[in-house]
Amino acid sequence: MIILGIDPGSKTTAFGIVDCLNKTFEYDFISLQKIQNFDDKLYAVFLKTQEVIKNHNINEAAVEDVFYSVNIKSSLKLSEIKGAILAAVKLSNINVVHYSTREIKQAISGYGAASKTQLKFIIEKTFNKKLDNLPLDVSDAISIALAHCSYKHTASRIN
């Protein structure tokens, strides 16, 4: 089963493609910092999501829930970015699941308050592959996909 994990971000949106059976991953990301117009950012994320889906045989997608912080304006922008992602995924008829940051960290590290660098370290050790010089959003996206693999595996053993 190939899972697409997506970490929505207004500066960088990252995609982690994890093959749950073969324990391999690929990744992609789009840097949005040079795009000034927010509508253009949304469109760029939509197109990039479609491109990633087209280039991989995705079975399901997992997306991180938007973290509602003190800054409501940032939360609203992230929600719009997530909306562009969801539209692209659903247009491809792919099932989408949503995980909170705490659920992802709990599945990967066993600790719901793990740091981004701790998650990156675990991903590197799990796959025996370095993620040097990549945004932390990439290891976050891989973590999201891997968390879904973990939850799917646990659910299939229970059912």
Q: Is 64 a catalytic residue?
A: yes
Backbone angles phi, psi at 109, to 5 degrees: -110, -15
Question: From the candidates 7, 28, 60, 140, which is the catalytic residue?
Answer: 7
Question: From the candidates 28, 60, 80, 137, which is the catalytic residue?
Answer: 137
CA 138/CA 66 separation, integer angstroms = 16
Sequence-distant (≥ 6) Cβ neighbours of residue 135 within 8 angstroms: 12, 14, 29, 31
Question: From the candidates 60, 64, 80, 140, which is the catalytic residue?
Answer: 64
Sequence-distant (≥ 6) Cβ neighbours of residue 92 within 8 angstroms: 50, 53, 58
Q: Is 7 a catalytic residue?
A: yes
Which sign, positive or negative, has the C-alpha torsion 140, 53, 9, 149?
negative
Q: Is 132 a catalytic residue?
A: no
Which sign, positive or negative, has the C-alpha torsion 33, 35, 36, 41?
negative
Instruction: Tell me the catalytic residues.
Output: 7, 64, 137
